[in-house]
Every structure is written in structure tokens, then in C-alpha cells.
Amino acid sequence: MKFLITGGAGFIGSHLATYLVGKNNEVAILDNFSTGKRENIRGLPVELIKGDIRNIECLDEAVAGVDTVFHQAALCSVVRSVNDPLSTHEVNATGTLKVLEACRRAGVRRVVFASSSSVYGDAESLPKLEQMPAAPLSPYAVSKLIGEHYCQLYWKAFGLETVALRYFNVFGPRQDPDSEYAAVIPKFMQALVNGEPLEVFGDGSQTRDFTYVENVVLANVAAAMSARAAGKVMNIACGSRWSLLDLLARLNKLFDTDVSPILREWRKGDVRHSQASIDLAQKLIGFWPQVGFEQGLNKTVGWYLSSRRPEREVVTRVLSDTRESVPLQAGSRQ
């Protein structure tokens, strides 16, 4: 059985590729390397197609003979989408339509689409349930919602099996700390290790359902296989939430630092609180997170320290401490 991963040289896609190759599957990757890196997939026995999901000829070539497409390729940043809505739409919305169309024509069995918790926006109540109305706050969130709608349309109108997974704040090894649009965990780690100012937009009380990447990989694989998942949209997360101040406290402990954040204005497009219900994913694809937030954070810090040449000595308590502490409960605010 052959799998194609669009965006397979990126953070999540490369973990998925590593997993699938490890299970002796035939894997192809289509990536334009806009944010993906060759080093993420170095040594992996995959077919590598350097190309763009906006190019339909390139897609036709990539999907030929493929059973399942894991569609991860996207411009992933909320901030970037606010600065440049058109490119985000072109890659994430139109690009997803082109992927689906190429799959339909080629007779691909299933497409698993990487959607995002951002589609909920600032929904009042927590946890976020799939049946809540979407309320996107950024062009990125709109582009992901359009992708979901196209996925459902291709299932209903053409019988192409599609599953959309709404990822909640994925983190783990290989997440790029250097990008202008870096996610919060790599950004905080970089600031702590380099002794740079650590900025927080807002007051740090905003919460996120941080999800270790291995959970997302397993969710993708289950979504590809489960008969009940076709045509569905579901949350993929841990079902708990941690504030940015919680995160910083935990990282301060792991890096043996004592850094306070510099508080900046709230940013356009950012949501205040995010926490998923994962009941539907459990029911439809048997999903349950295997790695919790704190264990995942320990692994991520361990990777971060081993993958860089330290600019100064850092002390870490990462490996000894794998216990989980209690996250905020659903509905509680801080």
C-alpha cells in the first residue's frame, strides 16, 4: 500500500513519514521546502517529489498509484496569514481543493486532512466540541475551514473518503525555533537557552491544549484505516489545557532558569482559551493520547538540547522527571 504525505518534510509530516516507513510502508513525500527541511527526512527511504500543491501536474504525478494521502502541506502561521491572507488562501484553501481533485481523478481511496483548532475561534464554552459553530478569527482559520468543507464535499459528492483532523497546538522534536513564525514552545525554549527576552502576547493566562506530535501521528494512521471515519471532522488533542505561564514555569524548571515574560499587546487572530473534547475521535478512530503534555515537554526539551550546539552551558532536569501534574479542568478559567 502506498502513502503520500504532502508537506512530509515539515515538522508533523516528517514524524508521520518516519512512523510509516518504520512499519515497512511505501511512502512518497511532496514538499516545496518552503518551511520543511531536508534534514527532517534525511536517511528515510521515501520517494521525494520536490513540488508544489498549487501545481496540478505535479499533484497528478504524486498521487498516481497512491492509496492514502496525508495532506499536511500548508502555510501554518496565524500571524503570517494576517500579514498575507492571499498566499495563505492560495496554499491552504485552493491547494487543498487541488489535492482533493487530483485524488478524485486518480482514484485515491482516502485523504486525511490536517485541519486546526483555530476554526473554533473564541468559542465561549470549553471544551470545544465538533458540533459547535466555527468562528474563525484569522485568514489561516478560514483557510482550514474551507479545506474541511471541501473534504466533506468530495466525500458527499464524489465518494472520495476524507477525514479532517483538527489538531490542537502540536509540539515536539523538529518544530522549528528559528522561523519568524515559530510556535510558542520552540520560541520559549530558544529564548531561555539563548538568554533572549521572552515575549508573551497578552497576560500569559491564555490556555492551550498542547498535544505531543506522536499523538497526532497515531491519530493520522487510525484516521486512515477506520471505516467509521469517512466524511468526518474530529478534534485531535489531549483534552486538557495549560496556560502560557504554566508552560513557562515548567520550562524554567527544565532549563533551570528563572525568566519572567515581557508582556506585549494581545495579537490579532489569537484565541484566548483552547481545549478539546476528544470523545468523537475516541469513538470513531479509537484515539487516545499516548503521551501527555509534561512527558512530551520533557522529550522535546531533551531533543532540543541534544540537537543544538549549546551556546552556553545549560542544566536540565528533563530525563529524570516524567510525572504528569494536573492541568486546568474543562470550563475553569484563570
Binding residues for ligand NAD, per CB under 6 A? Answer: 6-7, 9-13, 30-36, 52-54, 72-76, 91, 95, 114, 116, 167, 169-170, 183
List the catalytic residue out of 140, 150, 154, 304. 140
Exposure of 122 by Cβ count < 10 A (0-12 exposed, 13-18 middle, 19+ buried)? exposed
CB of 319 to ligand NAD, least distance (A): 25
CB of 35 to ligand NAD, least distance (A): 4
Are 322 and 300 in contact, with CB atoms under 8 Å apart?
A: no
CB of 332 to ligand NAD, least distance (A): 23
How far is Cα 124 from Cα 118, in angstroms, rounded to an integer? 14
The nearer residue to ligand NAD, 167 or 304, going by C-beta atoms, is 167
How far is Cα 293 from Cα 209, in angstroms, rounded to an integer? 9
CB of 260 to ligand NAD, least distance (A): 25
The nearer residue to ligand NAD, 85 or 316, going by C-beta atoms, is 85
The nearer residue to ligand NAD, 149 or 316, going by C-beta atoms, is 149
Sole residue written with cell 513519514: 17
Instruction: List phi, psi (to 5°) of 50.
Output: -85, 110
CB of 272 to ligand NAD, least distance (A): 17
The nearer residue to ligand NAD, 161 or 176, going by C-beta atoms, is 176
Q: What is the dihedral of CA 228, 232, 237, 243, to 10 degrees?
A: -160
Active site residue 181: no
Are 102 and 64 in contact, with CB atoms under 8 Å apart?
A: no
The nearer residue to ligand NAD, 170 or 193, going by C-beta atoms, is 170
How far is Cα 227 from Cα 223, in angstroms, rounded to an integer? 9
User: By three-state DSSP, how is residue 276 classified?
Assistant: strand
CB atoms within 10 A of CB 105: 15
Beta bridge partners of 170: 211
- Provide the annotated active-site residues: 140
